[in-house]
Each structure stands twice: as structure tokens, then as C-alpha cells.
Amino acid sequence: MTPTDGDLQAAAQALRLGQPVVVPTDTVYGVAVLSTNAEAVAELFTRKGRDFDQPLALLVADLEQAKSLTTEGALPSAVQSFWPGPLTVLVPRKPNDGLHLGQAPKVIGLRCPNHPFIQALAALVGPLAVTSANQSGQPTPTEASAAGEALGGDLLVIDGGSCRGLASTLVDCTTSPVTVVRQGEITLAELRSAGLALVDG
């Protein structure tokens, strides 16, 4: 199932009203809010049962939007080999950026998903503060109906069909060499092949 333009407009309106929205991605279903809306972010933490000291990641429309959220030169050029796709990068956070992601992290997690709906939504309303659409500690749904029910059943749910259920690979680009925090769909060999210098391990 492919989300429609009507779904895009409905999601954008809900987000602008401060409402969380369940969205499909190229990995799992997530729940998104506007990263500039402190109250919406707080509600998302409450609904999920997530500790406030576990910051939310940001889904972006493209590389340029990602670059606007971090310091100059912080995104390794190798990232372009995997975006859009299942790679999340931790990079330095700009001071006074107006974003609400949790307990004021000095780094932010950025990902450009290989999903046209999410790319279009982030281009329309700005970077999306997102977490997986499940209660903390529970399995992550790969179907829209289960994702909606997991967080209370009263949210707008954008049905994008079945998601693959594979986590993104997470790398910390604030270290040199880069540290792999979580290996997901993208392997260490693929990262190295793209020219990313990794901590041995």
C-alpha cells in the first residue's frame, strides 16, 4: 500500500497541530512529531514510556536538510553512499537549534529514509522527531494496525503496508575513527567499502 497525497496533507496538518502521527519507513513503523514542538515531543515520550534521557532521532528529507542541523563538515561524505537508506548517524548538534529531542543532547541522530512519503513529509514540515511505534521494551510493529494500537489507538496512522522490520545501522561520527553503535541492515564491510574509517572491532 502506498500513502497518497491526501495522507501526506493529513499527516502534515496533524503534526502542525502538535499531534503524533504513526508513519511507515523503510525499516519499521515509527511515530513522529514536529521536532520544534516541545509539548508534542513530551507527549511522545509519555505515550511510548520512554525515558527523557534517551533522545529522539531525526528523519530528514535529504542530505541538505541534514547538513543544516549539524556543524559544517560533520557529516562524512561516505554517508551519501547509504542515503536515502537504513543508516543513522550521530553528529554534533548545533547550539540553540530550537529542536526538542529529549534531555538536551550534545549530539543528534540523523537519518534520511529510503521512503518517498517520509522524505516528502520532512520536506513539507521540517525534520521529524521519531521513535519506533511501540511501547519501550516491546516488539516493533511492521504493520500499520499494530503500530497504531501500540500507542493508544487514537493517533493518525498512515498505512504504508508491511515494513521490512530491519533496524538501521547506527554510527557515531563524533569519534575518530567512527564507532559502530548498532549494526543493522548495513554491514561493517559495506561501511568500510564506502570509505568510512571505523574503530576496529
What average pLDDT score do residues 148-156 get? 87
* C-alpha cell, 129: 522527531
Domain residues of the chain, as ranges?
Answer: 5-193
Residue 64: which residues within 8 A CB-CB, separation 6 or more? none
3-state secondary structure at position 70: strand
Q: CA-to-CA distance for 178 and 64, rounded, in angstroms?
A: 21
* CATH of region 5-193, choose from 1.10.150.120, 3.40.50.720, 3.40.50.300, 3.90.870.10: 3.90.870.10
Residues 41-76: pLDDT tens digits? 999 999 999 998 899 999 999 999 999 999 999 999
Residue among 51, 53, 2, 56 at smallest CA distance from 34: 56
- Look at residue 165 in the predicted model and tell me its pLDDT: 86
- Look at residue 140 in the predicted model and tell me its pLDDT: 86
User: By the 8 A CB rule, do 26 and 114 touch?
Assistant: yes
What average pLDDT score do residues 92-108 get? 88
Where residue 105 falls among pLDDT bands split at 50, 70, 90?
Answer: confident
Q: CA-to-CA distance for 139 and 123, rounded, in angstroms?
A: 29
165 in the Ramachandran plot: left (φ > 0), alpha (ψ -120 to 50) or beta? left
State the pTM of this model: 0.94
Q: CA-to-CA distance for 150 and 148, rounded, in angstroms?
A: 5
Residue 56: which residues within 8 A CB-CB, separation 6 or more? 35, 41, 44, 101, 102, 109, 129, 130, 131
Residues 22-47: pLDDT tens digits? 999 999 999 999 999 999 999 999 99
